[in-house]
Amino acid sequence: MLSLGPIAFAAPLALLGLLTLPVIWWLLRATPPPPSKVTFPPLRLLMGVLPDEEQPNRTPLWLVIFRMLIAAAIILGLARPILFPREGAEDAPLLLVVDDGWAAAQNWDRIVGAGRAYISDAQRGGQSVTLVFTAPQTGTETLTAISPGEARRRLDAHEPAPWPADREAAAQRIRDAALENGPYAAVWLSSGEGADAETLAETLKSQGALGQAVLVGPSGSQAPLALSPPDATARGFEVLVKRAGAGGERGGDVVAMAADGRLVARAPYQFEEGAREALARFDLPAEIRRRVALLRIPGSASAGTAQIIDDRWSRPIVGLAAQGAEQDSQPLLSDLFYLEKALDPFAETRRGAMDSLIESSPGVIAVVDAARIDDPEALAAYIEDGGVLLRFAGPRMAAGGDVLLPVTLREGGRSMGGALAWDEPQALAEFPESSPFAGLSLSEDITVERQVLAEPEPDLGYKTWARLQDGTPLVTAERVGRGWIVLFHVTANPEWSNLPLSGLFLEMLDRVSGLATAGGAGAEAGEGPYRLERAVNARGLLGAPSGDARPVPADAWPPDAIGPETPPGLYRRGTDAGALNVIGPGDTLIATPRINGVRADNYGERSPQRLSGLLLLAALVLLAADAIIALLLSGRMRGLTRRLRPGAAAMAAGLFAVALNPGPARAQDADEAAMAAALEMRLAYVETGDAEIDQMSRAGLQGLTRELIRRSAVEPAEPAGVTIGEDNLLLYPLLYWPVRSSERPLSPRETAALDEYIKAGGTVLFDTQDAGTAATRLGGGHQGLQVLLSDLDVPPLAPDPAEHVLTRSFYLLDDYPGRWDGGKLYVETDEASGRDGVSGIIIGSNDYAAAWAVDAEGRPIAAIASDDPRQREIAYRVGVNLVMYVLTGNYKADQVHVPALLERLGQ
Amino acid sequence: MARAAVKPQAPAALRREAEEQAARYPALMAEAERIAVTVAQGVHGRRRKGVGETFWEYRHHAQTDPVTRIDWRRSARSDDLFVRENEWEAANSVWLWRDGRASMDWRYDRKLPLKKDRAAVLSIALASLLIRGGERCAVLGEGDAPRAGNAGLDRAALLLAAGTGDIAETDFAALARHARLALFSDFLEPVETWRARLSQLSGIPAGGVLVQIADPAEEDFPYAGRTLFRASGGGQELLVGRAENVGKTYRNRYAAHRDDLKALARRAGWPLVRHRTDQPPARALQAIYQAMAPEG
């Protein structure tokens, strides 16, 4: 093999052919092209003309160069050039070490691709391959040299493990195997993560042929990511995304999924240039947050980019510190009773003595007034550990001398609006932006008559979460360790203010309890060891556990190491669930360092490219062009060119394009489609460009078409996918439009087409498909829908109109479920529009396509988000009604007269 | 007799060639008829009374008129006797000749007709017009006497479409005095040749029209590049290195030749009609017919 910079030639002798180029040059220059022969009747007139002597016309210079190029391309092609060759890869048996820990999963395709390339090299050189995987397996096989074909099969069949690789062990196995037949061409396909590279690298170096091993790893932009355990915040939670090594800017989304696989929320993360960590913030109500079972980074699927959430955020337990017996004389007026009722909707409350509460470690311990605290140290430790101490003021606290308060209190407090006071009772001021209560809506009639006052301190403002309109703090809090001390400066009963009677009080308590990270339901766990319930696979998805997993004794929980016997996943012991994640709270990602004496390489870069085929193909194309040129020069193409001249260049370009890109030419014959659509009625959906959504829309309309044919006289043809602004919409009576949240605004052309369609009597069913997760929008509008409708002339719409024709155009319906139930269906209120009362725009969110979707055999494709299988049937009825409504207009509206008619008939 | 010039061929080949030639005849005939109709609107008689079939006028009966000539139907309508006069439709003999030599059997562009075919179309159309006008037609060099009527047209058309039309072998002696001729050719021979022929014809005396059929390529010379020119029918060859370089000279020469021919025609009193095969034939036919019509 001959190397010239980045290009090597496998058959360098063929390059001698280049020496013949001068000869070809001379030959080409010497031979004139043959003349074109024509018959010419007035030759007599021409005979005497001949001004210049007939000269041996030489071939034009550019043609000579062109033909030399062809010759050169053929010669170079025959020399089998390779771009970026891998030296020595074919000369020694291959020792291929493949990282298959969780970090490798993100680049697994690249790793397998590189592995196949190296194996191919070994195959060409007739060498054997020894394949070593670094992740620990339950059964350890001995290392043996196998044939390249077998190695390729094994590599293809191999799946990365969801646990970390153990490179020390792999190095040990290589040493123990006492490999023969060395020296080897040692190649290590690394995941790019993990610092423990030295031993393995040394081992490889010692085995390596030519004294050199190759370490292939992902480039900076492909560095593996990891997801840290989430930290709760008042308004949701935040999660750190980490990466191995500091690369350039890189961003993506973290998604939160429910236990049933549904997407609950999505939050973006963005690595700054050089940053190793990025933060993704989820703003979720506690209600929604409790549903989150798994966090993932969809783009880079691996066990390390998945975080299973255990019961941590299930209904928090709030311990209510019992007061002395003297306070319980009027139990229905006591602070604790109010608290209990207020917490009830979203938290588990438990009364008890303070010390027993601390022992059971609930998320929040609520203390009213100056309850006696026997063991302040234990309580402080509890707070340090992530507990939340929620305190309420009272007459005794106002008397002073209390500890474990966020602020220093002035003795006495103040009262307003009393008979002897000048002040009016104070209302609440807007919550500060930094407060966890920010965004809660205030009610005017909440007033405070008495409160305890904080001493003015420099950090008082910082600690204040809520204040009255005159600026005095109403709720203050202080961070202590990982926990909080929160003080309401009023009582928990309505003696001092009517706040505890308001709905706002519930929301405030909900936000406070959301801060709790400690405890949970741990107190009453079941018996026996933790058993794996659902395992995280290498792609970061929850699945059934494999047989290798062993139960973990309760006292050994959480296990020290994650491996084949204790794979990551959700473990359960009685009612207690424990999540075992690959990435723990403090874990950092370390990029695999470069190692002296080991050549470093990156995936996907500089992989050998064989150029021979390309060169020979180019020579062929040039030869074909040369033939055309020769014909042109000799005038034989004249007849042809005269006819083709305008199109000749385009045709040549086209031929070139076809030769270079033999992909399927997509002939978009709009007329043909329109004619086909005009022949038969059919349903249509708007193509979003997202293949998954489009497929679902198509399957949905197919299912609906099937049901329509089965149940009604409407027999539509196969549904059609249309592009707004390109296809002729007027041929379709109903347009199903799945709206994504990422819709871009319509172009003027699209708006015009859609307007025309609706004005001409068409109906568009917008389906936001998100009734199940609409709550995550917190009452805000659907982004995509807002964008879409912003330019459209939308008539007034009303949700779920009772007595609407839709409810009885074929079936009698009460509501309009799709895959989800509960999303509202909006139709035009103006029945008197000139379109026979048919609403031009219908907006739903129940994901109808998924409910209707069937496969080729007529089996449903998507699951219904309901336990009641009848919901699918109802969904079909909604679809049938919808089509009937669109096709027949207000015809069925006449049925309102049926009772009257019947009555008249009876007489 | 014209066949004698053709080199001996196998009977089968001869027959096939004849059939090919004849197959072209109906098409040419049809096209000739089509364009003749467009011109026929303008056909008219001699505008004086005479021997003919078309009514010309009624006149009072004269003493010299035989009784049989009295038009009794007209006379019955009045007291006078009337005689019916028909228009004088003197039949003239027209000899047509369509050059059929190799130089005529050529075209540059496949979309255009052969010069020979265009000449045939024009000449048949002319024959059709003339016979419709009562003239008698014959094809020069074929030995037939001029004939009138449909039979005459068929005969003439067949000979014009498929005949060899070699003027070198034509015997002008057969022409009647004051015969009229229509000669269709490309007139690419030296002008002297035609001067001799025309003076020979004028001596008979006979007059007529020259119709020059030209292919656009002969005028425009669209050749370029290294080109080997061959005379039609073989023989001479000429290799030109850069055909585009000789184009200008050739065009000048061609124009000179054309002017010579025009001068010759004017002097001999033969109208010269020029026709390019890329132009519609009807216009040329109109011009030819106008030129053929005798003064008066």
Separation of alpha carbons A761 and A171, rounded Å = 73
Residues B121 and B101 placed together within one structural domain of the fold: yes
A45, B253: Cβ pair inside 8 Å? yes
Q: What pLDDT was estimated at residue A662? A: 42
**B chain contacts of residue A51, beta-carbon cutoff 8 Å:** 245-246, 249
Peptide bond into B66 cis (omega under 30): no
> What is the rounded radius of gyration, in angstroms, for the C-alpha atoms of chain B?
23
Residues B80 and B219 placed together within one structural domain of the fold: no
Nearest chain B CA: its distance from A57 CA (Å): 7
The partner residue sitting opposite A36, judged by closest CB among B106, B218, B226, is B226
Q: Name the pLDDT band for A591 (thresholds 50, 70, 90).
A: confident
Q: What average pLDDT does this structure show over A49-56? A: 55
Separation of alpha carbons A158 and A141, rounded Å = 14
Per residue in B123-140, pLDDT (tens digit) is 888 888 888 777 778 888
DSSP code of residue A502: S
What chain A residue is nearest to B230 in terms of C-alpha separation? A39
Residue with the bigger pLDDT between A32 and A262: it is A262
φ, ψ at A404 (rounded to 5°): 55, 55
Structure tokens that stand for B41 in this block: 């609107």
Separation of alpha carbons A233 and A215, rounded Å = 42
Nearest to A258 by CA among A294, A309, A306: A294
A36, B228: Cβ pair inside 8 Å? yes
B110, A54: Cβ pair inside 8 Å? no
Assigned domain for B50 exists? no
Query: Please, which residues bridge with residue A392 across strands?
Result: A368, A488
CA dihedral for A359, A363, A367, A373, sign (positive or negative): positive
Nearest chain A CA: its distance from B157 CA (Å): 26
Assigned domain for B4 exists? no
* Kind of pairing between the strands at A576-580 and A763-767: unpaired
Assigned domain for B114 exists? yes
Q: In the 3-class helix/strand/coil scheme, how is A439-477 assigned residue by residue?
A: CCCCCCCCEECEECCECCCCCHHHHEEEEECCCCEEEEE
Detail the DSSP E strand segments found in B192-247: 206-214, 227-230, 237-240
Per residue in B60-99, pLDDT (tens digit) is 888 888 888 888 988 999 888 998 887 665 557 788 888 8
Query: Please, which residues bridge with residue A684 across strands?
Result: A720, A735
Q: What pLDDT was estimated at residue A650? A: 57
Q: What pLDDT was estimated at residue B212? A: 93
Nearest to A448 by CA among A478, A413, A420, A480: A413
Residue partners of A475: CB distance under 8 A and separation at least 6: A435, A437, A464, A465, A466, A486, A487, A488, A489, A508
Residue partners of A117: CB distance under 8 A and separation at least 6: A86, A607, A608
Nearest to A438 by CA among A377, A515, A378, A508: A508
Range with the poorest average pLDDT among A50-59, A665-674, A819-828, B5-14 = B5-14
What is the helix, strand, coil percentage profile of chain A, to 5? 35, 20, 45
Interface residues on B facing A, Cβ-Cβ cutoff 8 A: 102-104, 106, 110, 186, 188, 190, 215, 218, 223-232, 236, 238-242, 245-246, 249-250, 253-254, 257
Range with the poorest average pLDDT among A148-152, A593-597, B79-83, B190-194 = A593-597
Assigned domain for B277 exists? yes
Q: What pLDDT was estimated at residue A456? A: 85
Q: What pLDDT was estimated at residue A701? A: 92
A33, B226: Cβ pair inside 8 Å? yes
The partner residue sitting opposite A633, judged by closest CB among B225, B239, B245, is B225
Q: Name the pLDDT band for A407 (thresholds 50, 70, 90).
A: confident
Residues B18 and B127 placed together within one structural domain of the fold: yes
Per residue in A851-881, pLDDT (tens digit) is 899 888 888 888 888 788 888 899 999 999 9
Residue partners of A315: CB distance under 8 A and separation at least 6: A290, A346, A347, A348
Residues B59 and B161 placed together within one structural domain of the fold: no
Please report the DSSP string for A553-586 in residue order: -GGGPSPS--SSSS-SEEEEETTEEEEE-SS-TT
B245, A33: Cβ pair inside 8 Å? no
* Kind of pairing between the strands at A364-368 and A317-321: parallel
CB pairs under 8 A between A and B: 96
Residue with the bigger pLDDT between A93 and A765: it is A765
Assigned domain for B259 exists? yes
Query: Please, which residues bridge with residue B228 across strands?
Result: A37, B239
Residues B80 and B215 placed together within one structural domain of the fold: no
Residues B200 and B60 placed together within one structural domain of the fold: no
Residues B19 and B71 placed together within one structural domain of the fold: no
Separation of alpha carbons B103 and B100, rounded Å = 8
**B chain contacts of residue A42, beta-carbon cutoff 8 Å:** 103, 188, 218, 254
Residues B110 and B224 placed together within one structural domain of the fold: yes
Q: Name the pLDDT band for B262 (thresholds 50, 70, 90).
A: very high
Nearest to A40 by CA among B240, B259, B24: B240
Residues B65 and B173 placed together within one structural domain of the fold: no
Nearest chain A CA: its distance from B132 CA (Å): 35
Domains of chain A by residue range: 1-34+55-83+609-660, 94-218+593-607, 225-314+531-588, 318-520, 670-896
Assigned domain for B30 exists? yes
Q: Which of A31, A37, A38, A46 would best serve as a mutation to test chain B binding (most B beta carbons within 10 A)?
A: A46
Per residue in A71-86, pLDDT (tens digit) is 888 988 888 888 776 6
Nearest to A67 by CA among A28, A107, A95, A111: A28
**A chain contacts of residue B215, beta-carbon cutoff 8 Å:** 41
Residue carrying the six token digits 């002017």: B259
**Which secondary structure element, helix H or strand E, spans residue A240, and what is its range?**
strand A236-243
Report how many helices (DSSP H) and strands (DSSP E) chain A contains, helices first. Answer: 23, 41
**B chain contacts of residue A50, beta-carbon cutoff 8 Å:** 238, 240, 246
Amino acid A374 reads D
Superfamily of structural domain A318-520: Class I glutamine amidotransferase (GATase) domain (3.40.50.880)
Structure tokens that stand for A17 in this block: 């052919």
Range with the poorest average pLDDT among A283-292, A499-508, A740-749, B14-23 = B14-23
Q: Which of B99, B115, B186, B240 would best serve as a mutation to test chain A binding (most A beta carbons within 10 A)?
A: B240
Structural domain tally of chain B? 2
What b-and-e string marks burial along B229-239, b requiring 16 or more CB atoms within 10 Å of the CB? bbbbeeeeebe
What CATH number is given to the structural domain containing B23?
3.40.50
Q: What average pLDDT does this structure show over A57-78? A: 83
Q: Which fold has domain A94-218+593-607?
A: Rossmann fold (3.40.50)
| pLDDT for B294 beyond 70 | no
What's the domain range around B73?
55-86
**B chain contacts of residue A47, beta-carbon cutoff 8 Å:** 236, 238
What chain A residue is nearest to B240 in terms of C-alpha separation? A54
| pLDDT for B9 beyond 50 | no
Q: What average pLDDT does this structure show over B198-227? A: 86
The partner residue sitting opposite A51, judged by closest CB among B106, B224, B249, is B249
| pLDDT for A419 beyond 80 | no
Residue partners of A364: CB distance under 8 A and separation at least 6: A316, A317, A318, A319, A347, A387, A388, A389, A390, A512, A513, A515, A516
Please report the DSSP string for A329-356 in residue order: GSGGGSHHHHHHHHHTTT-EEEEE-HHH
Cα within 13 Å of Cα(A790), Cβ side: 13
| pLDDT for A149 beyond 50 | yes
Structure tokens that stand for A864 in this block: 């219904």
* CA B139 distance to own-chain centroid: 9
Residues B163 and B59 placed together within one structural domain of the fold: no
Detail the DSSP E strand segments found in A692-796: 717-722, 734-738, 763-767
* CA B101 distance to own-chain centroid: 15
For chain A, report the end-to-end CA distance as a whole number of angstroms. 106
Residues B115 and B72 placed together within one structural domain of the fold: no
| pLDDT for B6 beyond 50 | no
Q: Which fold has domain A670-896?
A: Rossmann fold (3.40.50)
Assigned domain for B156 exists? yes
**Which secondary structure element, helix H or strand E, spans residue A8, and what is its range?**
strand A7-9
Q: What pLDDT was estimated at residue B15? A: 62
Q: Do domains A94-218+593-607 and A318-520 have the same CATH topology?
A: yes
The partner residue sitting opposite A45, judged by closest CB among B232, B245, B254, is B254
Please report the DSSP string for A154-182 in residue order: HHHH----SS---HHHHHHHHHHTT--S-
Residue with the bigger pLDDT between A465 and A300: it is A465
What chain A residue is nearest to B241 in terms of C-alpha separation? A54
Q: Which of B188, B213, B228 would best serve as a mutation to test chain A binding (most A beta carbons within 10 A)?
A: B228
The partner residue sitting opposite B225, judged by closest CB among A42, A52, A635, is A635
Nearest chain B CA: its distance from A645 CA (Å): 16
Assigned domain for B63 exists? yes
CA distances from B82 to A698, B49, B61, B77, B88 (A): 96, 15, 5, 10, 18
Q: What pLDDT was estimated at residue A704? A: 92
Residues B77 and B149 placed together within one structural domain of the fold: no
CA dihedral for A548, A549, A555, A556, sign (positive or negative): positive
The partner residue sitting opposite A45, judged by closest CB among B223, B242, B257, is B257
- SS3 state of residue A736: strand
Nearest chain A CA: its distance from B256 CA (Å): 10
**B chain contacts of residue A48, beta-carbon cutoff 8 Å:** 253
Per residue in A439-468, pLDDT (tens digit) is 888 888 888 888 888 888 888 888 898 988
**A chain contacts of residue B276, beta-carbon cutoff 8 Å:** none
Q: What average pLDDT does this structure show over A565-591? A: 80
Query: Please, which residues bridge with residue A409 across strands?
Result: A454
